[in-house]
Amino acid sequence: MISVRNLHKSFGDLHVLRGIDYEIKEKEVICVIGPSGSGKSTFLRCMNLLEDITKGEVVIDGVKINDPKTNINDIRREVGMVFQQFNLFPHMRVLDNITVSPIQIRKMNKKEAEELAHQLLKKVGLSDKANAYPEQLSGGQMQRVAIARALAMKPKIMLFDEPTSALDPEMVKEVLDVMKQLAVEGMTMVVVTHEMGFAKEMGDRVLFLDQGILIEEGSPSEIFSNPKNERTKAFFSKIL
């Protein structure tokens, strides 16, 4: 579903990604872990071209996304993204945050979009917050709205960029629970995370990145209980 081939990304002289190859299959939950500065977030952001790709290619459903001929807006409609800082639109009610894109981009009519939004809010457990503004919500609630907003475009793939890192500890679970539910429903997900528990439980594959290189890849049990690479071992010895 997503093919990443020889992906390089540089910010000026800083070579953040140094040739990553990986295939993501449909309905897989891929968890990307690694020390900070390893390029995990950049890797994720390259998949919907929030960062332009320096070298190599990313192919989603047979379409090379970093081809100048590709309309990136068409690709992004199919790829939902959830950010560490939520990035809800503060000037809109929760309901409008969710419906704005379906109405503007998918040309859905307002009533239909609002019905969809109410369904999604129910799914993330926030039925009563449709008319609230983001500033009235807790971090965990904001992140769940952000997930609902991304889902409203009916994406085929969901990207999560450290979705629980900015949350108070007691709010992490409510967000992870929503993500688990999505995974169970068969959503293809790429999750950059520090939540090793989530990666262990829900990940189909775990990728360990360090210094812009895919060091090790495998099922959670392989990676967590039996890491082969020294750097992976060193990383786990620090965090676990």
Of 22 and 86, CB closest to other proteins = 86
164 binds other proteins (CB under 8 A): no
**Among 207, 161, 164, CA closest to 23:** 207
Size of the site for other proteins (CB under 8 A): 29
- Taking the complex as a whole, the smallest distance from the CB of residue 178 to other proteins amounts, in Å, to 18
- Which positions ≥6 away from 208 have C-beta within 8 Å? 33, 34, 214, 215, 216, 217, 223, 227, 229, 231, 232, 235
Question: Rounded to an integer, what distance in angstroms lies between the CA atom of residue 154 and that of residue 102?
Answer: 9
Residue 217 CB neighbours (<10 A): 16
- Cα–Cα dist 81/79, whole Å: 7
Q: How far is the CB of 183 from other proteins (least distance, A)?
A: 20
Under 8 Å between Cβ of 99 and 152: yes
Q: Using CB under 8 A, which residues numbered 34 to 63 contact other proteins?
A: 48, 50
The answer to whether residue 119 forms part of the interface with other proteins (CB under 8 A) is: no
Q: Which of 149, 192, 203, 214 binds other proteins (CB under 8 A)?
A: 149
Q: How far is the CB of 22 from other proteins (least distance, A)?
A: 21
Pairing of the two strands 79-82 and 157-161: parallel
Is 127 or 136 the residue whose CB approaches other proteins more closely? Answer: 136
Q: Tell whether residue 74 is a contact of other proteins (CB under 8 A).
A: yes
What residues line the site for other proteins (CB under 8 A)? 48, 50, 73-74, 76-77, 79-81, 83, 85, 87-91, 100-101, 104-105, 132-136, 146, 149-150, 153
